């Protein structure tokens, strides 16, 4: 039997509406996946927590944004984010109800955990010290993964993507993409990868020895004329290159921003 601990923190003032929940894992010795899906808000995940459980804490949903239209002489009452959490066979799913503006969710997880973190607006997604398959998607905010290992798929639209990896899972493709943000990725020096690089209004910088592979960037010709179709040339504006002799494809792509690939 797992013991479930619940605490609610009562602070002074009208603020401090919080949920604090410890989620027990069905089978701590097996792989664990944690999914957090927010419409609006920041997500912070820190590894190195106690085995067999995920500690979840949510801040109030008034957040940083100062409330508008406050009636004279009144103050706003903070509302809790209103988390829904469930755990099923080591898959923990966390979501927040409503349009909880400016909410924040903080997790303390065991080091070996795979993550799927998604938010649309209202904050940053930060992960520190986690080893696993990390799938992070933040439409309007930045992504910061520090001291992580395993494999990463990180996608933002309007924020920067900053990742530093201590170890990587070999032979697994990875992806670091944004539209209007900078991509800044630090990889171990011995990383073997086939890089696919693309930025429309930026530059690519690296201290890896990148062996460019122009052959991979050839346009693709699709000829369907003999079946009544079209003749089409698909131009791929990406640049390809190998580091340490090549390996799985690592995609780095942004429209308006630089791409930095650091060697650790």
Farthest CA pair distance, the chain: 77
Of 96 and 163, nearer to another protein (C-beta) is 96
Q: Is 55 in the site for another protein (CB under 8 A)?
A: no
Of 73 and 219, nearer to another protein (C-beta) is 73
Using CB under 8 A as the binding rule, the residues of this chain from 13 to 52 that contact another protein are 13-19, 21, 23-24, 26
* Contacting residue, 55, 79, 210, 217, with another protein by CB under 8 A: 79
How many residues bind to another protein according to rule CB under 8 A? 43
Specify whether the backbone of 139 is left (phi greater than 0), alpha (psi in -120 to 50) or beta.
alpha
Only segment of 83-91, 196-204, 222-230, 232-240 that touches another protein (CB under 8 A): 83-91
Q: Report angle CA 28, 91, 56 to the nearest 5 degrees.
A: 80
Q: Is 255 in the site for another protein (CB under 8 A)?
A: no
Of 93 and 256, nearer to another protein (C-beta) is 93
Q: Report angle CA 107, 161, 53 to the nearest 5 degrees.
A: 15
Of 101 and 239, nearer to another protein (C-beta) is 101
**How many Cα atoms sit within 13 Å of 198 on the Cβ side?**
16
Contact 101, 117 (CB under 8 A): no
Residue identified by tokens 């520190």 is 128
Residues at the contact surface with another protein, assessed by CB under 8 A: 4-6, 8-19, 21, 23-24, 26, 58, 67, 69-71, 73-88, 97-99
């Amino acid at each position: 039997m797992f013991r479930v601990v619940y605490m609610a923190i009562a602070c002074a003032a009208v603020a401090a509406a919080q949920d604090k929940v410890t989620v027990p894992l069905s089978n701590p010795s097996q792989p664990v996946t944690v999914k957090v899906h927010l419409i609006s808000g920041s997500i912070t995940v820190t590894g190195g927590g106690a085995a067999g459980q995920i500690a979840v804490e949510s801040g109030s949903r008034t957040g940083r944004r100062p409330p508008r239209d406050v009636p004279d002489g009144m103050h706003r009452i903070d509302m809790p984010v209103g988390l829904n959490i469930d755990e099923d066979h080591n898959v923990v799913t966390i979501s927040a109800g409503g349009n909880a503006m400016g909410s924040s969710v903080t997790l303390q997880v065991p080091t070996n955990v795979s993550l799927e973190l998604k938010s649309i607006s209202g904050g940053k997604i930060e992960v520190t010290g986690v080893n696993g398959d990390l799938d992070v998607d933040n439409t309007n905010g930045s992504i910061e993964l520090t001291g992580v290992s395993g494999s990463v798929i990180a996608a933002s639209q309007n924020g920067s993507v900053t990742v530093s990896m201590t170890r990587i899972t070999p032979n697994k493709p990875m992806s670091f993409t944004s539209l209007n943000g900078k991509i800044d990725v630090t990889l171990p020096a011995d990383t073997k990868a086939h890089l696919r690089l693309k930025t429309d209004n930026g530059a690519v910088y690296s201290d890896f020895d990148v062996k460019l592979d122009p052959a991979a960037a050839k346009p693709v010709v699709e000829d369907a004329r003999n079946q009544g179709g079209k003749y089409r040339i698909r131009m791929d504006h990406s640049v390809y290159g190998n580091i340490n002799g090549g390996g799985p494809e690592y995609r780095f792509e942004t429209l308006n921003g630089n791409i930095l690939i650091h060697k650790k």
